[in-house]
Structure 1
């Protein structure tokens, strides 16, 4: 009888041991794959200019001096480079989002006294979420409904479309570390200052009747956020999949934006943009912002075009001001905001951010 029980216990433990071995095997395979593929991806990125030049000018036999050859070379090089950076940074931001979820932030901001730090936290959260202006508005509405101060929600709304992994990846690939650092830092700072300024204006009375009714009927939630106990290595596959999903969602915008940029790079005359947006014209920055406000695009679509602006002689600060206005201020965004704001509040919001963007454009032109 004793031997039989021992055999039974051994049989029961076998599936557990087998499952643990499979988990360890999957983890080992994942680590080996990352250890092999990541260096290969970095090496490929490092030699990408030479590879694209060989493909364009040697295999396709396009002339490096022709408009079409320049456009094709620009398109393939920038598309591949931006997608690589976008995938890597999106995966990194996915890891941040896993351990810094929306619900936890909302509860934290509504229950803690932060003495102004909440503006930085909201702006930083806007920077790490991969949303364009229209995509970030549903979350903004959730913040307003949840009772988060209006200035803090504005800090998020300002930064979210301007600074995210898409914009950072593309800026890093096209303009380098210095311009990316200035752009990222100024975007977060503008969210903080803009949110603080708008919060001090006491604009809650200009929220829509629908929002006020929801706020009056809402009850405070006391649920405590419980962190996931799953090891990071087991979460990594889903984080990588989410990073790839972001790439897939913006792929069309990247291709369209770079295609437009490639056409402009290859065919638009050198003096087309410099004639109106050159550094010696004091009105260049305000003009760029005013022309951009009626438009709408996300960072994936507009950054390649900005690169062409700079290549054609437009100052980087003026080009960035144009991009910020296109990405952060748009008519579709205003239409969606009408759900939670009166037109007067929308006008105050747009006007305030327009002034901030113009000021940053002049500042960028002085620094960069």
Structure 2
């Protein structure tokens, strides 16, 4: 079947080839430096990505899940606390809450797949401490409303920006919209490395200083341990790769927006497509369409050589791991409906115009 795929859902090697000489030189430079954990290359990337995102601090960590988890731990979140997040997300958005000993409190999403502010406010209890809005598909959540709710109730806001590096909301980048944010540098993300990686951003100096220790065993220096911490460091080589790719990110994201506009124009008469608002700039980590004939359309697209995915077929509240939380089918109707009707079309900067046309033609030929 792979030989018949004309438009793969992802093609990471294609992007690698486009910057292979720079990446190869970075590998040699890091290898010859003899510094493979932390060090100047990590600090250089952290400075540049902080400037790119418009924040005071960027802290490289092992992966996107750790980015969220470490912030929650730094805030003292634990047993007896509740943290609110969206049910229509990757499981890590809730797993990191459970890992602290706190209780994930799930809420439904709106038509743009992002967390519903009304659901957030209704879910707040005296035990609520944090809201984690997920910027799903590369589109920022409704942060004005979320921040207003948080301020009214004295809560902290932790952006799950795993899918949204470079996205803008009312002129600010994702990662600069709450008290702190966690990013993933997984290879599939818009800024992906060649292994795993994550990033925390914040404008809180004290929080940043604590996180720098927490990611590195709680060490004050090589020999003195100030507090119990974790082993969650972004290694030097991946930081060097990320720094190279950061210079291309705005251009890559712009190409994804161009592809998204072509998709929207080409298939909107047949399926529901994302709608961009004037105050936002989505980076289209995923381009998600909706149709009641989802499974049949996916099979048809595959027969036409177009590979697709579903993000995500099982909402978090219906996962076996979440059974103890007490949710049931029907609790979050939007997320459950979307799980049955969503399709993610291929979208990445390296898609050429002929492939974009193939996708559009394949969708049209089904209807």
Same fold, judged at TM 0.5 (above): no
Q: Normalising to structure 2: TM-score of the pair?
A: 0.28
Structure with more strand by fraction: 2
